[in-house]
Amino acid sequence: MDIPLLQERFGGRAPQVRAESCLNARHRHADCTRCVDACAPAAIALEDRLPELDPDLCVHCGACVATCPTDVFSQLSPPEKTLALTFEQLPGAAPLELICSLVEPAKTTHAPVAARVQHRRCLAALTPEQLLTLSGDGARPLWLDDSACAACPLHPAHAVIRASVATVNGLLAAVGRTPSLALHTEDADRLLDEPIQRPVLDGMRPQVSRRGFFGALRKMAEDRVEQALEEEPAPMLRAAAPVDQRLPRQLPPSRKRLLDRLARLASFEEAAEAPLDREVPLAGLPFAAVHVDPAACSGCG
Ligand code: SF4
Ligand code: SF4
């Protein structure tokens, strides 16, 4: 793997790591390896069960940021925010296709979309909440071109992309909306037989109006405040502490944003008296789960 070349293609920096937020720090029986599994260049290693990142090996793909259930990895001003701005400038329900920065931005596609948008990074960097935003909460059909992932040097990231897409589609279905995300590898039957010509837009060059510019500045300031608040250390596992003080009492910020958004969507659907499917599919949801073995539990409380 040509690490300097990939670092140049993705740009940016290695994520910051807050190891104290790791599931393995919070629960002594946790055995999470999601970041290690997603990191193709093996830049993340678990030392004493906690993640350590080697910035010389990191290619800045962002897969660990999206896959960690407790927001251990973070980046200031990630390109996904600029991508969201680019999408804001495009017609709301126009079907679009996302391609990553490693594939050739061909002007033809088999996906039934109005345009292709090239993202600066690997598509695995997009969190479920960001995918939900890009899809206009399900109003916009959004294709992700993952046809090159199997042959990509970062191919472990493909599992992260598929999991995020399945999560968003599952959540949309749970609030009564049509799942709007599609993957080339999993939805091949919906691809067109013949390729069509479509423009390729640069996801890092939003056509921002004056109003949009000041809106983006305000959003940046809000993000900085949010980041500062997030930096307050999470409650740690303390061996002698009562059980109810060992587990974290706050939701990881990205999960909280996702839940807030879903709550708004669900109340919107309720207001419209749309039928709701209350059976939320748990498999693949981006939330940490603690499994208790009733046979091994002493009931100590
Ligand atoms: S997953 Fe990507 S961004 Fe995260 S440490 Fe590995 S190479 Fe760096
Ligand atoms: S894993 Fe797929 S989406 Fe990610 S960089 Fe490679 S080809 Fe692109």
Indicate which atom in ligand 1 lies nearest the CA of residue 61: 2
C-beta 105 within 6 A of ligand 2: no
Give the per-residue pLDDT at 291.
65
C-beta 168 within 6 A of ligand 1: no
Q: Which ligand does the CA of 3 lie closest to?
A: 1
Indicate which atom in ligand 2 lies nearest the CA of residue 145: 3
Tokens of 296: 């091994």
With H, G, I as helix, E, B as strand and everything else as coil, classify residue 85. Answer: helix
What are the two backbone dihedrals, phi and then psi, of residue 188, each rounded to the nearest 5 degrees?
A: -60, -30
CA gap 87, 134 in Å, rounded? 7
Indicate which atom in ligand 1 lies nearest the CA of residue 60: 3
At 109, which helix (H) or strand (E)? strand 108-109
Query: From ligand 1's centre to the CA of 35, what distance in Å?
Result: 8
Q: Which ligand does the CA of 65 lie closest to?
A: 1
Query: From ligand 1's centre to the CA of 70, what distance in Å?
Result: 16
Cα→Cα distances 240→49, 233, 236, 244, Å: 20, 19, 12, 11
Indicate which atom in ligand 2 lies nearest the CA of residue 144: 3
Reading the chain (301 residues) residue by residue, the pLDDT tens digits are 789 999 998 988 899 999 988 989 878 788 899 999 999 999 999 998 999 999 999 999 999 999 998 889 998 778 998 899 899 888 878 899 999 999 888 889 999 999 999 999 999 999 999 999 999 999 999 999 999 999 999 999 999 999 999 999 998 888 888 899 999 999 999 999 999 999 999 988 876 555 555 565 566 566 666 666 655 544 444 445 555 555 555 677 887 788 777 777 766 655 555 444 444 444 445 455 556 676 776 655 4
CA gap 213, 206 in Å, rounded? 10
Give the per-residue pLDDT at 143.
97
Query: From ligand 1's centre to the CA of 299, what distance in Å?
Result: 40
Q: What is the CATH number of domain 3-74?
A: 3.30.70.20
Which residue's alpha carbon is at the smallest distance from atom 2 of ligand 1?
Answer: 61
What digits encode the pLDDT tens for the residues 244-300?
555 555 677 887 788 777 777 766 655 555 444 444 444 445 455 556 676 776 655
Per DSSP, which regions of 203-260 are E strands?
none
What are the two backbone dihedrals, phi and then psi, of residue 40, each rounded to the nearest 5 degrees?
A: -65, -40
CA gap 29, 291 in Å, rounded? 9
Q: Which ligand does the CA of 73 lie closest to?
A: 1
What are the two backbone dihedrals, phi and then psi, of residue 252, each rounded to the nearest 5 degrees?
A: -55, 140
DSSP letter at 101? Answer: T
> Max alpha carbon distance in the chain (Å)?
65
67 exposure class (CB count in 10 Å sphere: 0-12, 13-18, 19+): buried
Give the per-residue pLDDT at 260.
79
CA gap 167, 92 in Å, rounded? 22
Indicate which atom in ligand 2 lies nearest the CA of residue 146: 2
SS3 content of the chain, % helix, strand, coil (to 5): 35, 10, 50
Give the per-residue pLDDT at 279.
46
Which residue's alpha carbon is at the smallest distance from atom 8 of ligand 1?
Answer: 58
C-beta 124 within 6 A of ligand 2: yes
Angle between helices 79-88 and 210-230 in degrees, nearest 10: 150
Give the per-residue pLDDT at 125.
94
Q: Which of 9, 158, 184 to mutate to test the pocket of ligand 2 (most atoms within 8 A of CB)?
A: 158
CA gap 216, 222 in Å, rounded? 10
Which residue's alpha carbon is at the smallest distance from atom 7 of ligand 2?
Answer: 149
Rg of the chain over all Cα atoms, to the nearest angstrom: 20
CA proximity to 165, closest of 152, 151, 149, 153: 149
Query: From ligand 2's centre to the CA of 63, what distance in Å?
Result: 10
Per DSSP, the residues of 146-196 read -TTGGGSTTTTHHHHHHHHHHHHHHHHHHTT----EEETTT-GGGS-SS-E
CA gap 197, 116 in Å, rounded? 10
